[in-house]
Amino acid sequence: MNEFLKKLAEILELPEMKESDQLKDFPQWDSLSVLSVIAMLDANYGVNLRAADFATVNSASDLWKMVQARQRS
């Protein structure tokens, strides 16, 4: 989870990211960031998400839960 938060923070160019942070609150959370996150999840976690999958994602921990669920399935 820490590693995951660090990678998310890197993409959004933030010093750090917390589990409870609401992704959509960041002005830099746009299609480029979403694509970068999709690429990061593919490269590091073997999970392939689509932009539409992010509709139900609010916080960083929501996204982490989705990644874990996809890894198990």
Partner 1 sequence: MNFKFTGKRISGVQAVVPANERSFLEEMKNFDFPEARSLKLKEVMGYDKRRLVQPGVCVSDLAVFGLQNLFERGLLPPNDIDALIVCTQTPDYLLPPTSSVIQGRLKLKQDMFCLDINQACAGFVVGLIEAFMLLEQESVRKVVLINADVLSRLTSKKDRNIYPLVGDAASIAVIERAAEDEPIFASLKMDGSRGEALMIPAGGMRLPHSAETARLEDVGDHNLRAKDHLYMDGSAIFNFVQTAVPPLIEGILEAAGVSRDSLDYFLCHQPNRFMLQKLADKMKVPYSKMPNNVVERFGNNSGATIPVALISNLAERVKTGHCRVCLAGFGAGLTWAAMLLRLGRMDFCELIDYPDNQAVPV
**How many whole angstroms separate alpha carbon 15 and alpha carbon 69?**
27
For residue 71 the two structure tokens come to 């890894």
Stretch that binds partner 1, among 2-10, 15-23, 37-45, 63-71 (CB under 8 A): 37-45
Nearer to partner 1, 20 or 52 (CB): 52
Type of residue numbered 60: A
Interface residue with partner 1, options 5, 49, 60, 63 (CB under 8 A): 49
**How many whole angstroms separate alpha carbon 24 and alpha carbon 60?**
10
Site for partner 1, rule CB under 8 A:
27-28, 30-32, 34-36, 38-39, 42-43, 48-52
